[in-house]
């Protein structure tokens, strides 16, 4: 995490990152998409038009190399903090976003986990408020942490519940 | 055996006005007509083969079918008001029962289109949080609709269940009536109307010159004419005799020349207010005020005042959002720092943002200046956003989401200020909620 954002945090907030498995999962998806593409781009023109044309494999490979690092940076940027009255979610490296959702405003807390995420032992937590534009999702939690957070948020939400 | 006993069991509850089947019967006939018009050539082909006998047979089949459809859909529609909810049963084949919680009602509209006015019936529409389309009861007798609205509002407001049915219409005090002259001048001073008119004159002419054929010209001109109609005369007809009144039930908005519409917005339901000032209105100090409530169809926010002077608008606004002073809100807004010209050199001139004790204020727009107000108590979440270029310039955007599926954004603020704003806004919306009035407005303040 960069020091610029570090300076803005008040000491009372305890930020948590997301699981390392999320990074592994995303890297796997990246490689599954780009390596076959690189192979195809290298082999087909190479066999049909001459060896030099297999250089077409380089752009996908370069993309994979860049994505490898970019995913790590993006993964490090994901974090959340439970404060006394609201939940903070921050992410983004180039386009930074921070969302603050007061507990009393939560209408629904959702935990989802797709087949691939389940294989990696991950779950995703999503908060819904009355505003559909609220963008509050935390990917890459362990199922236990997601459930703990869901139960705690639901409990806090009920205690502080406010109408529309 | 009588006809009555052979009919299927009718759901209990109140019925709609007996004129409703006639309106429903129009649907199949209109569908048939639309089909015939759309596929004109083939229909004409059919008619050449048709004999008078077949034609009569066709009508003999369609009209009773349409009438039966209208009759049965009316027969199976009923509504019941209980202490906590309004139940609407509908559906001929697929039965549907809508349970509408009265304390979740955001607004009640009574609309009377021209034909319904002639027949003395009205349509009752409810805005409820979480439903896509407005639930509606169409048609009710005019007097019945008004009584039902009063009862629903009284129950929603928390009045004792026994007293609610007889409470009748709450007294209303007129706040503002928009004069037709003002409305016409206001419309004539809108650039959009003239642009649409110019488009109607220029584009079909060009197409005619290019193709020298009438059909494509008409095909282009008709939708354009429709657009001009909607933005000028149609808008005049809708906004004619715009009256805003205040009552214990909330704000009453009445308008329309041919189709009369009425809306009641109970206290504390307004999530967002936008004040727009088109370029040519500014010299006269005129504004248009729009508001949004939760549950209204997206992008179809209601209009509070089509055109009014700033002072009048401020007066009405102070009743809608208690404690909000328009002049103070506008005065609190400050422009973004000078260095934001490297991000948006021209648009930044319209940007401004401020916070008062009750509302979050943002302003944007160069030609049509728009001031957005979101009460602190209605803020659902706060977002901070910063792109790479903005980070270099140490600028950031802050958005607040409100409950009517929208947001207001303070653009290009200083980074430090924006971070402080996010923290402070979360705190303000928390305390703001505590001070907000109760959901059931006729009961005392929240404990």
Please state, in angstroms and as integers, the Cα–Cα distance from residue B119 to each residue in B17, B140, B141, following that order. Answer: 10, 11, 9
CA B416 to chain centre: 38
* Alpha-carbon gap: B359 to the closest alpha carbon of chain A (Å): 16
- In chain B, the residue whose alpha carbon lies closest to the alpha carbon of A105 is B380
Residues A85 and A138 in one domain: yes
Domain that holds residue A129: 80-159
Domain end (from A34, A53, A73): A73
Instruction: For residue B252, list its beta bridge partners.
Output: B245, B264
Over 60: is that where the pLDDT of B412 sits? yes
User: What residues contact B224, with CB distance under 8 A and at least 6 apart?
Assistant: B196, B199, B200, B203, B204
Distance (Å, rounded) from C-alpha B427 to C-alpha B430? 5
Chain B neighbors of A3, CB-CB under 8 A: none
Picking from B281, B395, B390, B282, the residue whose alpha carbon sits closest to that of residue B335 is B395
* Residue-wise pLDDT tens digits, A128-146: 888 877 778 999 999 999 9
Determine the pLDDT at residue B6.
56
Contact check, Cβ <8 Å, B380/A131: yes
- Is residue A66 located within the same domain as residue A96? no
Q: What backbone phi and psi angles, to 5 degrees, belong to B29?
A: -65, -45
Report the chain A residue with the minimal C-alpha distance to residue B430.
A102
A147 located within any domain: yes
CA–CA gap between residue B342 and residue B339 (Å, rounded): 6
Residue B276 touches partner A, C-beta closer than 8 Å: no
- Which residue's entry shows tokens 């939400």? A157
Residues A40 and A58 in one domain: yes
Give the CATH number for residue A140.
2.30.29.30
Does A91 lie in the same domain as A66?
Answer: no
Candidates B294, B383, B406; nearest CB to A135: B383
Q: Do B388 and A94 touch (CB under 8 A)?
A: yes
Residue A137 lies in a domain: yes
Instruction: Look at B381 and A98 and tell me if their CB atoms are within 8 Å.
Output: no
Is residue A121, in this structure, part of any structural domain at all? yes
pLDDT at B421 over 60: yes
> Across residues B175-195, what is the average pLDDT?
91
- List CB contacts of A18: < 8 A, sequence separation 6 or more: A75, A78, A79, A138, A139, A140, A141
DSSP SS3 for B189: coil
* Minimal CA separation from A106 to chain B, in Å: 8
Lowest mean pLDDT, pick from A80-84, B122-126, B183-187, B435-439: B435-439
Q: What distance in Å separates the CA atoms of residue B24 and residue B316, rounded to the nearest whole number?
A: 39
Which chain A residue has the Cα nearest residue B421?
A100
DSSP B417-444: HHHHHHHHHHHHHHHHHHHSPPSSTTS-
Cβ distance B383 to A8 less than 8 Å, yes or no, reads no
Is residue A80's pLDDT more than 80?
yes
Domain boundary among A73, A99, A117: A73
Judged against a pLDDT cut of 60, whether residue A2 lies above it is answered with no
The pLDDT-based confidence of B41 (bands split at 50, 70, 90) is low
Closest Cα in chain A, distance from residue B316 (Å): 22
The 8-class DSSP code of residue B166 comes to G
A164 found inside a domain: no
Q: Is residue A91 part of a domain?
A: yes
Instruction: Indicate if A84 and A49 belong to the same structural domain.
Output: no
Own/partner long-range contacts of B439-443 (Cβ < 8 Å, ≥24 apart) = B439/A163, B439/B103, B439/B268, B440/B103, B440/B156, B440/B157, B440/B158, B441/B157, B441/B158, B441/B250, B441/B266, B441/B267, B441/B268, B442/B154, B442/B157, B442/B158, B442/B159, B442/B248, B443/B157, B443/B158
Suggest the residue from A74, A97, A131, A157 to mutate for an interface test with chain B (most B CBs closer than 10 A): A131
Same domain flag for A128 and A113: yes
Give percent of chain B with pLDDT exceeding 90: 32
Instruction: With cut-offs at 50, 70 and 90, classify the pLDDT of residue A36.
Output: very high
Q: Produce one character per residue of A24-35: b if its CB has 16 or more CB atoms within 10 Å, e if not.
A: ebbbeebeeebe
The owner of tokens 């009920």 is A158
A150 and A88 part of one domain: yes
CB contact under 8 A, B385 and A95: yes
Tell whether A10 is covered by a domain: no
Inter-residue contact B411 to B421 (CB < 8 Å)? no
Q: Are residues A35 and A61 in the same domain?
A: yes
pLDDT for position A20: 93
Say whether pLDDT at B158 is over 90: no
Phi, psi of B304 (to 5 degrees): -95, -45
- Residues A92, A128 within the same domain: yes
A107 within some domain: yes
**Is residue A61 situated within a structural domain?**
yes
Average pLDDT for B307-325: 91
What 3-state class would DSSP assign to B92? coil
Tokens of B261: 């519409």
Contacts across the A-B interface (CB distance below 8 Å): 86
- Claim to verify: residue A51 and residue A89 sit in the same structural domain: no
Which of A12, A3, A57, A8 has the alpha carbon at shortest distance from A34? A57
What's the total number of domains in chain A? 2
pLDDT for A97-127, tens place per residue?
A: 999 998 888 888 899 999 999 999 999 999 9
- pLDDT band with cut points at 50, 70 and 90 for residue B1: very low
DSSP string, B227-269: HHHHHTHHHHHHHTT-EEEEETTEEEEEE-SSSEEEEEE-TT-
pLDDT, residue A10, reads: 53
Rounded CA gap, B115 and B145, in Å?
A: 16
Q: Do A99 and B381 touch (CB under 8 A)?
A: yes
CA-to-CA distance for B90 and B38, rounded, in angstroms?
A: 31
pLDDT tier, B266 (very low <50, low <70, confident <90, very high otherwise): confident
Q: Is the pLDDT of residue B294 over 90?
A: no
In this prediction the ipTM stands at 0.84
Let me know whether A89 and A108 are in one domain. yes
Interior angle at CA A103, CA A136 and CA B318, nearest 5: 100
**Which residues on chain B are in Cβ contact (under 8 Å) with A99?**
381-384
Separation of alpha carbons B175 and B178, rounded Å? 10
**Contact list, B272 vs chain A (CB under 8 Å):** none
pLDDT digits (tens, 9 = 90+) for B356-396: 988 999 999 999 999 999 999 889 899 999 999 999 999 99
Q: Determine which of A63-67, A70-74, B433-437 has the lowest per-residue pLDDT on average.
A: B433-437
Chain centroid, CA B26 distance in Å: 26
Looking at A40, A58, A73, which one is the last position of a domain? A73
Whether residue A128 sits in one domain with residue A85: yes
């Amino acid at each position: 995490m960069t020091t610029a954002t570090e300076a803005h945090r008040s000491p009372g907030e305890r930020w948590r990152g997301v699981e390392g498995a999320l990074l592994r999962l995303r890297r796997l998806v990246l490689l599954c998409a780009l390596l076959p593409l690189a192979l195809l781009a290298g082999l087909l023109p190479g066999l049909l038009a001459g060896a030099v044309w297999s250089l077409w494999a380089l752009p996908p490979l370069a993309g994979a190399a860049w994505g490898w690092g970019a995913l790590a940076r993006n993964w490090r940027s994901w974090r959340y903090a439970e404060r006394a009255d609201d939940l903070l979610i921050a992410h983004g490296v180039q386009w930074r976003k921070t969302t603050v959702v007061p507990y009393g405003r939560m209408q629904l807390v959702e935990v989802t986990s797709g087949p691939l995420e389940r294989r990696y032992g991950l779950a995703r937590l999503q908060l819904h408020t009355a505003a559909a534009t609220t963008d509050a999702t935390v990917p890459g939690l362990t199922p236990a942490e997601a459930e703990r957070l869901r139960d705690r948020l639901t409990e806090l939400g009920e205690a502080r519940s406010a109408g529309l | 055996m009588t006809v009555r006993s052979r009919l299927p069991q009718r759901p209990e509850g109140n019925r709609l006005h007996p004129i409703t089947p006639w309106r429903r019967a129009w649907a199949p006939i209109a569908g048939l007509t639309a089909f015939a018009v759309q596929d004109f050539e083939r229909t004409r082909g059919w008619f050449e083969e048709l004999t008078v006998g077949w034609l009569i047979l066709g009508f003999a089949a369609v009209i009773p079918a349409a009438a039966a459809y209208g009759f049965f859909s009316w027969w199976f529609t009923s509504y019941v008001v209980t202490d906590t909810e309004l139940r609407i049963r509908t559906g001929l084949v697929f039965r549907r029962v809508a349970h509408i919680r009265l304390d979740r009602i955001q607004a009640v509209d009574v609309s009377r289109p021209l034909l319904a006015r002639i027949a003395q019936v009205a349509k009752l529409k409810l805005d409820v949080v979480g439903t896509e389309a407005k639930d509606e009861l169409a048609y009710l007798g005019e007097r019945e609709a008004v009584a039902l609205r009063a009862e629903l509002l009284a129950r929603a407001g928390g009045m004792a269940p026994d007293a609610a049915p007889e409470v009748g219409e709450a007294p209303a005090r007129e706040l503002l009536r928009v004069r037709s002259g003002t409305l016409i001048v206001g419309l004539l001073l809108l650039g959009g109307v003239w642009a649409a008119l110019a488009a109607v004159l220029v584009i079909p002419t060009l197409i005619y010159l290019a193709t020298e054929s009438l059909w494509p010209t008409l095909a282009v001109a008709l939708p354009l004419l429709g657009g001009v109609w909607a933005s000028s005369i149609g808008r005049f007809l809708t906004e004619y005799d715009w009256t805003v009144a205040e009552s214990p039930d909330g704000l009453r908005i009445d308008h329309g020349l041919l189709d009369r519409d009425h809306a009641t917005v109970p206290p504390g339901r307004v999530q967002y207010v936008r004040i727009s000032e088109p370029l040519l209105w500014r010299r006269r100090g005129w504004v248009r005020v729009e508001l949004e409530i939760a549950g209204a169809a997206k992008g179809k926010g209601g209009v509070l005042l089509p055109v009014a002077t700033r002072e009048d608008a401020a007066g009405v606004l102070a009743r809608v959002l208690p404690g909000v002073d328009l002049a103070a809100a506008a005065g609190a807004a400050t422009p973004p720092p000078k260095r934001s010209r490297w991000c948006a050199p021209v648009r930044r001139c319209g940007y401004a943002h401020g916070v008062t004790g009750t509302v979050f204020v943002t302003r944007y727009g160069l030609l049509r200046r728009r001031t957005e107000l979101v009460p602190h108590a209605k803020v659902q979440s706060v977002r901070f956003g910063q792109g790479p270029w903005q980070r270099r310039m140490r600028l950031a955007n802050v958005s607040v989401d409100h409950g009517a599926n929208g947001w207001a954004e303070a653009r290009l603020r200083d980074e430090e200020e924006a971070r402080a704003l996010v923290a402070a806004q979360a705190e303000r919306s928390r305390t703001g909620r505590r001070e907000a009035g109760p959901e059931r407005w006729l009961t005392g303040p929240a404990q």
